Amino acid sequence: MSVPSTFQCALSGAVPSVPVVARTSGLLFERRLIEQQLQISGNVCPITKQPLTPADLLPLVSHAGAQTAPGSDAPANGVVRPRPPSASSIPGLLSLLQGEWDACMLETFHLKQQCEKLKQDLAHALYKEDASARVIARLIKERDAARQALLQTEQNVGRAAAAAPQGGVSAMDIDDGKKAAAPAAPAGALPEWALSLIGSTVTSLSQVRKATVKEAAASAASVSDLQSFKVQDKSHPLHATTNPGILSVDVSRANPDLIATGGNDGKALVFQRSTGKIAAHLNGHKSAVTDVQFHPSKESVLFTASADHSACAWQSEGAGKWGIVQHFTGAKDALVGLAVHPSGDLLATGSKDASWALFDVKEGTELRRLRTPDALSTIAFHPDGSLLAAGSARDGSIRVYDLKTCNLAAELTGSHTGGLTALTFSENGYHCASAEASGLIKLWDLRKLANIHTIQCSSVEGDKAGAVVSSLAFDSSASYLSAAVGSRVAVYAAKTWAELIQLHEHKDRVTDIAWGSQARTIVSVSMDRNLKIWA
């Protein structure tokens, strides 16, 4: 039997269990439903859209004056609602039971799925826990073995010291009456004099760096001066034609008239700009000279690195003659570069054998050799001499070492995809620039150890050298960055990193560049054997 609409809830259409009537409209509602709706709509009737508050809902009297219990779904008089029509017959009951059975089976299926997933997760967690326990056990075993070996070594050293004569020198230390050598520094440590030298250099340079850079910037060439650069006089073909190519160049800070070059022919040359002639031939290496650098304060001292696994310190003897005063060896593969400490008394070399070494320039002795994860492609000192950066030839990472401890201080990774081809520090000590063969140049802020800018160099039509970046150099005022890109030289403004000029004259890949005094000249060398001076 159908129920008249008058007795149906205006919202659900069903007979309300707890009926209430709206005072304003006379509509019938289920108390629970209308109160929820009023909370949602903000006391507005959902049917008439007129204002309606819970106070305007009047409960209906059931019988004998009894009222429904507020907030309850059951009538106060306890009258039980009749069964729905679907449960009034056997087929209807069967249908309800079938629905209940289906719901039960579906819930069971979902529970089985969850159980299977939990079993898999538990098995995976147990596997990881077991693997971790195995690794920890192996590490503990290795640690205990290392401790035992260290204890045994200490005991052996103690016995040897007790057996030595007074003074701590054994008879084996004396050979043919010569004085015994001084005890070596502990592994991983530098001699006291080297630590003192590094500390004093950092202190002295950091105190005057800001003023020095500011003064250099005030006298440096302007942007308009740079944009008027052209090759001075003529190009200077240098080195042998049988194995052509100039690989490196440097301009002496003490005497900007002197320019050094290193070639594929295994020779280094000292070129005098004022005369336009070669001032000296330096023959001492057996393979290509990969890097040349003048002493920071002495024009008569020059350092060279070679693919013959060695580096040399040269000194002028006058009359165009230079002689080797120190020979630095120990590398097992070609040297890719060298870096002269700002003090001039320490020399660092980087090698393809995945190591860099620090040498005493005066004595020619190796102070420290540190292994690196990859073969190196470039190496450079920070301007204050406290840090040494080594560029990887494989993954493009830059590893920065604390020179005093020779420990890794920072690692700049994730920006280069290929091996580095160039690395340089800004004279103000804040920025570092790195490059790879694809033409990608990255600028780093050393205070944040973050990549702050990227320059993507593109190849020029007709340039067979493409866009490979072979060299980077900041000028002494930290105002400009020059880059050897393909067979051209590009100059960028520091801070904005906007390209200012491109210099096109070389016929083959430019291999190295160097700035002259006050950024008023740029010197470039190329595989075309030419030295060019731009001003």
Q: Residue 517: which CATH number?
A: 2.130.10.10
> Tens digits of per-residue pLDDT, 449-487?
889 999 999 888 778 888 899 999 999 999 999 999 999
- Structurally, the chain folds into a number of domains equal to 2
Judge whether 31 and 25 are in contact, CB under 8 Å.
no
Whose tokens are 């070609």? That residue is 334
**Last-in-domain residue among 81, 111, 143:** 81
pTM: 0.65
Q: Are strands 28-30 and 510-515 parallel, antiparallel or unpaired?
A: unpaired
Question: What is the domain range of residue 56?
Answer: 5-81
190 in any annotated domain = no
186 in any annotated domain = no
394 in any annotated domain = yes
113 in any annotated domain = no
Q: Are strands 267-272 and 258-263 parallel, antiparallel or unpaired?
A: antiparallel
- 471 forms bridges with which residues in the sheet? 484
386 and 240 in a single domain? The answer is yes
372 in any annotated domain = yes
| Closest to 388 measured CA to CA, from 202, 184, 193 | 202
212 and 77 in a single domain? The answer is no
152 in any annotated domain = no
Q: What tens-digit pLDDT sequence spans the chain (535 residues)?
A: 566 777 889 888 888 889 999 998 889 999 999 999 999 888 999 888 899 999 999 998 755 444 444 444 445 445 556 666 767 788 888 888 888 888 898 888 889 999 999 999 999 999 999 999 999 999 999 998 888 888 877 776 666 555 544 444 333 333 443 434 444 444 457 899 999 999 999 988 888 888 888 888 889 999 999 999 999 877 888 998 888 899 999 999 999 999 999 999 999 999 999 998 999 999 999 999 999 999 999 999 999 999 999 999 999 998 889 999 999 999 999 999 999 999 999 999 999 999 999 999 999 999 999 999 989 999 999 999 999 999 998 888 999 999 988 889 888 877 788 889 999 999 988 899 999 988 999 999 988 888 999 999 988 877 888 889 999 999 999 999 999 999 999 999 998 999 999 998 899 999 999 999 999 999 999 999 999 999 8
128 in any annotated domain = no
**Last-in-domain residue among 81, 105, 130:** 81
CA atoms within 13 A on the CB side of 123: 6
Judge whether 313 and 269 are in contact, CB under 8 Å.
no
Judge whether 469 and 416 are in contact, CB under 8 Å.
no
> Tens digits of per-residue pLDDT, 104-132?
988 888 899 999 999 999 999 999 999 99
Q: How many CB atoms lie within 10 A of CB 435?
A: 28
213 and 64 in a single domain? The answer is no
SS3 138: helix
Range list of β-strands (E), 104-235? none
- What gap in Å lies between CA 104 and CA 268, rounded to an integer? 90
212 and 69 in a single domain? The answer is no
211 and 77 in a single domain? The answer is no
| CATH code where residue 75 lies | 3.30.40.10
Judge whether 503 and 488 are in contact, CB under 8 Å.
yes
Range list of β-strands (E), 295-397? 301-306, 311-318, 321-328, 335-340, 346-351, 355-360, 366-371, 376-381, 387-392
106 in any annotated domain = no
275 and 410 in a single domain? The answer is yes
Question: Phi/psi zone of residue 13: left (φ > 0), alpha (ψ -120 to 50 degrees), beta?
Answer: left
**Last-in-domain residue among 16, 46, 81:** 81
Across the chain, what does the average pLDDT equal? 86
